[in-house]
Amino acid sequence: MKWKWKHIAAVLCLSFLGALVFYVFQVDKVWQVVLYLPGNANPSEEGDHVLTPGPSPYYIIRESNKCPEGKPPPFLVLLILTVAGEVEARNAIRQTWGNESLAPGLGIIRLFLLGVQESKLGHLQQKTLEAESLRHHDIIQEDFLDTYYNLTLKTLMGMNWVAMHCPRASYVMKTDSDMLVNTVFLIHKLLRPGLNPKTNYFTGYIMPSRDMATNRNKSSKWYMPPEEYSNEMYPEFCSGTGYVFSGDMATKLYGTSLNIPLLRLEDVYVGICLERLGIKPTPSPKGLFSNYRVPFSKAIYRNIVTSHHIDPGRMLDYWHKMWV
C-alpha cells in the first residue's frame, strides 16, 4: 500500500507529540520552577553582564539530597551568596554561624549559592569548587555569570532550590558571605521553635524611607535605569545583607518572580515581588538586623542577628569571643 502525504504527516505529528510529552516528563518535574527567566543580557557601561539568564533549567551543582524525604524538615535553611574565590570565607562560616550542628534536634541546612566565573582562571576555579562541593555538600551553582548585577538570579536560584527540594522548611535566611549571623539568637529568640512556624512572614533590616527613592545617578552602584524601573519610589524592602522568611514564601516569591521582569538590584526586586503578593515585611526589634559592621562587644553580638563587612579572621575571632 502506498503511503499518502497526509498519512506521513500524521505519523510525523504523532512522533513529535510523543517526543514532546516524553521531554516534559523528563525535566525533573520542575515545570513550575524552571529557570528560563526573563532578563537583560546586554553588558552595562562598566562591562558587567546584567541579569544573564541560564541557558537551561539544570543546575551545575544541585545538592538535591540535602533535604531528604522521610526525614523531619529543617527548621532553618541558610542561603549564603558567595563567589568561587571566597574559600576562606566559606570555611570560616562552616566553623562558626553556618555550622549545621548549632541547633541539635531542629536542623540547619547551609547552602552557598554561586554562578560561574568568566576569567582566565575560571576553569581551574570551577574544578576547585567542584572538589569543595564533594567534600562539604553545601554548594549549589547554576550557569549564569557570577556578577553583582546577577545577584537577583542567584537569590532566585536559592528560592527555587527550597521550593523544589525543601518546601517544608520552617524558615529560610538569605545573606552574604561577609556577614556574621548570630544563628543561635535568630533561632531561639526571634523565630522561637517552640511556637508554630509563621506563614507569609518576611523580616530583616527594612530600608529607611530615604532609600526608597529610585536612584537615577549613573555613577552610583545602585543606579536604576528608568527603562528597567520607571517608578520614582520603590516599595518597602529589606536590605539584601540579610533577611529571613517563612518556608512557604520561597515558592510564593519564586512563582511571583516568573511574572515580573528582573531588576539588577536584588533586594529591591524581592520587595517588588512582596508587593505583588500583598505581603509587607514585618518590622523586627530595633537593632537586630544591621547592614553595617557593628562595633564588637560580646554583650551586643550575643543579642543581634546580623553584622556586615566581617572578614574571615574577624568572623572566627568574634564567634569565639561570643561564646566563651
pLDDT in tens, the chain (324 residues): 444 444 545 544 544 444 443 333 333 323 223 332 333 333 333 333 344 333 335 689 999 899 998 899 999 999 999 999 999 999 999 999 999 999 999 999 999 999 998 877 778 889 999 999 999 999 999 999 999 999 999 999 999 999 999 999 999 999 999 999 999 999 999 999 999 999 999 999 999 988 899 999 999 999 999 999 999 999 999 999 999 999 999 999 999 999 999 999 999 999 999 999 999 999 999 999 999 999 999 999 999 999 999 999 999 999 999 998
What CATH architecture is 43-208+239-323? Alpha-Beta Complex (3.90)
> Residue 10 has what pLDDT?
52
| Grid cell 568568566 in the structure block, residue | 118
Q: Is 96 helix (H, G, I), strand (E, B) or coil?
A: coil
How far lies 92's CA from each of 8, 101, 164, 315, in Å?
Answer: 64, 15, 28, 7
Quick check: pTM over 0.95? no
Distance CA 13, CA 132 (A): 47
Give the number of residues written for the chain.
324
> Residue 69 has what pLDDT?
87
Domain ranges of the chain: 43-208+239-323
Which neighbouring-strand residues pair with 21? Answer: none
> Residue 52 has what pLDDT?
39
> Residue 119 has what pLDDT?
77
Burial level of 310, CB count in 10 A (0-12/13-18/19+)? buried
The pairs formed by 300-303 with CB atoms below 8 angstroms and a separation of 24 or more are 301/180, 301/182, 302/182, 302/185, 303/182, 303/185, 303/189
Q: What is the rounded radius of gyration, in angstroms, for the C-alpha atoms of the chain?
A: 22
